Chain A
Amino acid sequence: MIDTIANVLLQGILLGGLYALFALGLSFSMGVMRFVNIAHGDFIVLVSFLLLVLTTALGLNVFVALILVLPVTFAGGFLLQRFLLQRAAGSDVLLPLLITFGLSIIIQNGLLQTFGADSHVLAGAGTLQTASIALTSGIYIGVLPLLTLLTAVALVLGLDRLLNYTRLGSHIRAVADDVAAADLIGLSSGRVYALAMGIVGVTVAIAACFMGLNMNFDPTSGPDRLLIAFEAVVLGGLGSLWGTLAGGIVLGIAQTVGAHFDTAWQLIIGHVVFLVLFLLRPQGLFPKY
């Protein structure tokens, strides 16, 4: 009995690590840059397909492929912000929302045209996907989910350091606090935003890699990932990266507990827990603002 409870909680936390990875990029753009990226899930799926092509066509190890892809997604985020999203910045909230909604539709249909409706799983990680560590006779931890959780923690730590202890971080925070004032003291807000979006691009690539290794994806899975990411960000509280990690873990545990009683409840319990917590604490668990 104790074993079962411990196992359910443990698996929930591990699943939460993956959800937190989905959410970090969104948390960064929502909390720091104050803009909602509807296409976040689709960006993740797009990069997963990119990794799929690299691993199957070139036979690369998936982590080698990830390293190759990181500069691409950084540049992608930078250019996207500089040449598209920046034009809508500062105006009302609706415009960036509509632009990313459009991007979402374009990405989904583009992927559907190119790859068909098939769902895929990333391979090319050797035995990583099936390796496990036995804690006790009843409790096993998969190496891949553990690695996913550790990556999420490391990424939060890294982003937190970047925001709070580096020059770029202080620039980003200054621009986020007050664009006009930041421009007055000589910061180029456009460039800072673009760099921040480049960083989001890096988190998207990492999320895409672990999503593809852990679960299956198809051209239309983006909105599902976005929903999970959104819930994790809101649960954790806007602007708090550690909060997003906590939000992801809460969702992961809720889903795993729900599924333990009946697998049909897995998704619905996650959403119910989100709604209840949202009603009790609309500002989230660890709000910054």
Chain B
Amino acid sequence: MPFSRRTLLKGLAAGAAAGAATSSLAFPAIAVPRTLKIGVVAPRTGPLTLFSEELPFVLDQVKKTFHGQIKINGSNHPFEVIPKDSQSNPNRASEVTLDLILKDKVDLVCTFATPETVNPVSDQCELNGVPCVSNDAPLESWFFGRHGDPKKGFQWTYNFFFSGNEVIHCYLAIWARVPGNNKKLGVLWANDDDGNTFAKVMPPVITGKGFTIVDPGRFDLPASNFNAQISTFKTEGAELIFSVIPGPDFTAFWNGAAQQGFKPLAVSPGKVAEFPQGVYPYGDRAVNFSIETWWSRFHPFSSGMTGQTSGELADSYEKATSRQASMALGFRHSLFGVAFDVLKRTQDLGKRASIRDALRDTDYKSVVGPVNFRKGPFPNTSLTPLVGGQWRKGRKWPLELVIVDNSLAPEIPVGGPVEAMTYGS
């Protein structure tokens, strides 16, 4: 009998029916594509809310790009993105991750926004054997903050961002070029993960470069006032200020500084000046705030997901939301870029380990730069380029970020020189 198309189809149908009747386990997920679930843990409320500003826009982009279907190994799979709110609280972040894993049975977890969110989420995923990709947590805080062993690395969790080492060198490059400063750096490091890490890592590096540190000590957040710190900075003659505290606390400090007539030459408010909404409230008193810049519309990369250049991505965000694009936009976008790239390359969707292998082998051109977890500097991490920026009066927006230093990433163009604070004059 000649082997025709018709008999083949009949045979297949009969086989499938028989398989379904006897045991549904015999043919896993071949006939009906399973819905893939991607869990997202993000601080939608609490002090880290600013980090989640771009999430709805990017989720919308994901929807429009894929139309709820992702093509893997030639067949279309529906997918679902499940967002959860960490409330900017590490315990809560851990809790909702466990919910995602146990109740929603997600295939992949995505998370971002400081070690306070990313570390507990990654730990939970590592513990439960679920692949997790994250960004927006400095590599050292993520790797060593979770007691990672550089020889072994982690099994399930991967992170791409800049490293603390890069940040320090980026700031040093800016501060060294602030005209006429005495290289005395006043620091506001709180009694939290970031504050304690900076207090441990930064002084040895920075004193080696001829800077002096004026450190009034760790303090608990939220702090009610900063008079003591300000008077210490004044008596010690600090002309450069570096703070790593959330927005409302920085407001208390910066208002206090004005009340006390304290006018440093350079101010780098970490956790605040990364975001346009973070700097707007200070108006003229925010001009020339300097900040590490992880992504901008000037970064010469384009998205592997939508094909947009950095400039186009920023424009589409600003058009859709009437809000100024922040550097977080590039990272929100690239997080999902990497996640979908991983799923597309997965060999066996039934196995979490197979998704993990695809994640491990990532070599992806994202809008924030190339992502490759084999390149380090630590296992399971990928380093993205970092430049230094300053806020200037803008044309389209009240304040716009200008890149002033690219010593760590010469491929990103510089837009202007380093300037001292002006205080509206």
Q: Which residues of A contact B255 (CB under 8 A)?
A: 129-130, 142, 144
Say yes or no: A266-B218 contact (C-beta < 8 A), given A117-B46, A134-B261, A145-B259. no
Q: B285 touching A266 by the CB < 8 A rule?
A: no
A164 within 8 A of B: no
Q: Which residues of B contact A120 (CB under 8 A)?
A: 248
B308 within 8 A of A: no
Which residue on B lies nearest to A262, using beta carbons? B217
Surface stretch bound by B, among A4-12, A25-33, A71-79, A173-181:
A4-12
Q: B259 touching A264 by the CB < 8 A rule?
A: no
Q: A215 touching B225 by the CB < 8 A rule?
A: yes
Q: How far is the CB of A209 from chain B (nearest CB, A)?
A: 15
Q: B88 touching A117 by the CB < 8 A rule?
A: yes
Q: B259 touching A144 by the CB < 8 A rule?
A: yes
**CB neighbors of B among A218-261 (8 A):** 218, 221, 256, 259-260
**CB neighbors of B among A1-50 (8 A):** 4, 7-8, 11, 15
Q: How far is the CB of A68 from chain B (nearest CB, A)?
A: 23
The residue from B49, B216, B225, B281 contacting A214, defined by CB atoms under 8 A apart? B225
Which residue on A lies nearest to B254, using beta carbons? A130
The residue from A123, A142, A215 contacting B224, defined by CB atoms under 8 A apart? A215
A131 within 8 A of B: yes
- The SS class assigned to the A binding surface is mixed
Q: B258 touching A132 by the CB < 8 A rule?
A: yes
Q: A138 touching B219 by the CB < 8 A rule?
A: no
The residue from B229, B231, B259 contacting A4, defined by CB atoms under 8 A apart? B231
**CB neighbors of B among A47-102 (8 A):** none
Which residue on B lies nearest to A8, using beta carbons? B231
Q: Which residues of B contact A163 (CB under 8 A)?
A: none
In the assembled complex, the Cα of A11 lies from the Cα of B258 at a distance in Å of 14
B207 within 8 A of A: no
A182 within 8 A of B: no
Q: B228 touching A260 by the CB < 8 A rule?
A: yes
Say yes or no: A266-B228 contact (C-beta < 8 A), given A4-B235, A116-B45, A215-B252. yes
In the assembled complex, the Cα of A278 lies from the Cα of B223 at a distance in Å of 25
Q: How far is the CB of B324 from chain A (nearest CB, A)?
A: 19
**CB neighbors of A among B41-82 (8 A):** 44-47, 49
Say yes or no: A131-B47 contact (C-beta < 8 A), given A119-B248, A260-B228. no
The residue from A11, A116, A264 contacting B231, defined by CB atoms under 8 A apart? A11
Q: Which residues of A contact B341 (CB under 8 A)?
A: none
**CB neighbors of A among B216-252 (8 A):** 216-220, 222-225, 227-229, 231-232, 234-235, 246, 248-249, 251-252
Q: B259 touching A142 by the CB < 8 A rule?
A: yes
B89 within 8 A of A: yes
Q: How far is the CB of A224 from chain B (nearest CB, A)?
A: 8
Say yes or no: A266-B219 contact (C-beta < 8 A), given A119-B47, A130-B258, A142-B259. yes
The residue from B88, B260, B281 contacting A140, defined by CB atoms under 8 A apart? B260
In the assembled complex, the Cα of A264 lies from the Cα of B228 at a distance in Å of 11
Q: Which of B220, B231, B249 has the most CB of A within 10 A?
A: B231
In the assembled complex, the Cα of A234 lies from the Cα of B261 at a distance in Å of 35
Q: A263 touching B216 by the CB < 8 A rule?
A: yes
A166 within 8 A of B: no
Q: How far is the CB of A242 from chain B (nearest CB, A)?
A: 24
The residue from B45, B191, B227 contacting A118, defined by CB atoms under 8 A apart? B45
Q: Which residues of A contact B246 (CB under 8 A)?
A: 119
Say yes or no: A132-B248 contact (C-beta < 8 A), given A117-B88, A119-B222. no
Which residue on A lies nearest to B251, using beta carbons? A121
Q: Which residues of B contact A142 (CB under 8 A)?
A: 255-256, 258-260
B87 within 8 A of A: yes
A 109-120 binary contact with B (CB < 8 Å = 1; else 0): 000000011111
In the assembled complex, the Cα of A159 lies from the Cα of B256 at a distance in Å of 30
In the assembled complex, the Cα of A78 lies from the Cα of B64 at a distance in Å of 56
Q: A141 touching B45 by the CB < 8 A rule?
A: no
Q: A15 touching B216 by the CB < 8 A rule?
A: no
Q: Which residues of A contact B220 (CB under 8 A)?
A: 264, 267
Q: A264 touching B217 by the CB < 8 A rule?
A: yes
Q: Which residues of A contact B225 (CB under 8 A)?
A: 15, 214-215
Which residue on A lies nearest to B88, using beta carbons? A117
A 144-155 binary contact with B (CB < 8 Å = 1; else 0): 110000000000
Q: Which residues of A contact B47 (CB under 8 A)?
A: 117-119
The residue from B217, B229, B281 contacting A123, defined by CB atoms under 8 A apart? B281
In the assembled complex, the Cα of A118 lies from the Cα of B222 at a distance in Å of 11
In the assembled complex, the Cα of A4 lies from the Cα of B230 at a distance in Å of 12
A216 within 8 A of B: yes
A162 within 8 A of B: no
A272 within 8 A of B: no
Q: Which residues of A contact B261 (CB under 8 A)?
A: 132, 134, 140
In the assembled complex, the Cα of A132 lies from the Cα of B227 at a distance in Å of 13
Q: How far is the CB of B50 from chain A (nearest CB, A)?
A: 10
A 263-287 binary contact with B (CB < 8 Å = 1; else 0): 1111100000000000000000000
Nearest 7 CB-CB pairings of A with B: A142-B259, A259-B228, A130-B258, A216-B248, A116-B45, A263-B219, A262-B217
Beyond A116-B44, A132-B260, A264-B217, 18 additional contacts (C-beta under 8 Å) are A4-B235, A8-B228, A117-B47, A117-B87, A117-B88, A117-B89, A119-B246, A121-B251, A130-B255, A132-B259, A132-B261, A142-B256, A142-B258, A214-B225, A218-B222, A259-B216, A259-B228, A263-B219
